[in-house]
Amino acid sequence: CNKNYSHCVVQPLLLPKCLILVRGRYLNHQKGLPRVPVPPLRKICEGYLGALDPIIEEYELKQAKQMVETFMKGGGVGEELQRNLVRKACNTDNWVSSFIATKREIQVAVSGHRELTDSDRKYGNSNS
């Protein structure tokens, strides 16, 4: 091709037959795969603090560390939520997938509001 690419022709991507067949079969083995493990509460909290570290001020990080310590205390909210998460992991194929936000959920979270649906209008749910 020359620099203006005016005479270039795009060739279709040819996949080997074995790759084409795998695409439709991958779910056949889903049940045989190990479940997604639930990380220990301490590891989750350390990851959270690690993610905060580069983006917040030192005093905010100190406050966050105190809140995380309170959250992780034995018999506290953190332990209860962790037990619930482990229970969910035992009863579902993939507990992570239920926490993945849809594009619409992200738009609502970022904008702080959403458009009313027909259901909202019908039942008068305008405070969303």
Tell me the average confidence (pLDDT) per consecutive run of 10 residues in the chain, 128 residues long: 47 50 60 86 95 95 96 93 93 82 68 58 49
Q: Say what the pLDDT of residue 36 is.
A: 86
The predicted pLDDT at position 25 comes to 59
pLDDT at 4: 47
Q: How do the domains of the chain map onto residue ranges?
A: 36-89
- N- to C-terminal Cα separation, the chain: 54
Q: Hey, what long-range contacts does 69-75 have (CB within 8 A, 24 or more apart)?
A: 71/45, 72/41, 72/42, 72/45
Supply the pLDDT for residue 112.
Answer: 62
Q: In this structure, what token pair is assigned to residue 86?
A: 């482990």
Residue 70 to residue 18: CA distance in whole angstroms? 53
Q: Which pLDDT value is given to residue 97?
A: 80
For residues 38 and 82, the answer to whether their CB atoms sit within 8 Å is yes
pTM of the model: 0.57
Residues with Cβ within 8 Å of 56's Cβ and at least 6 positions away in sequence, in order, are 64
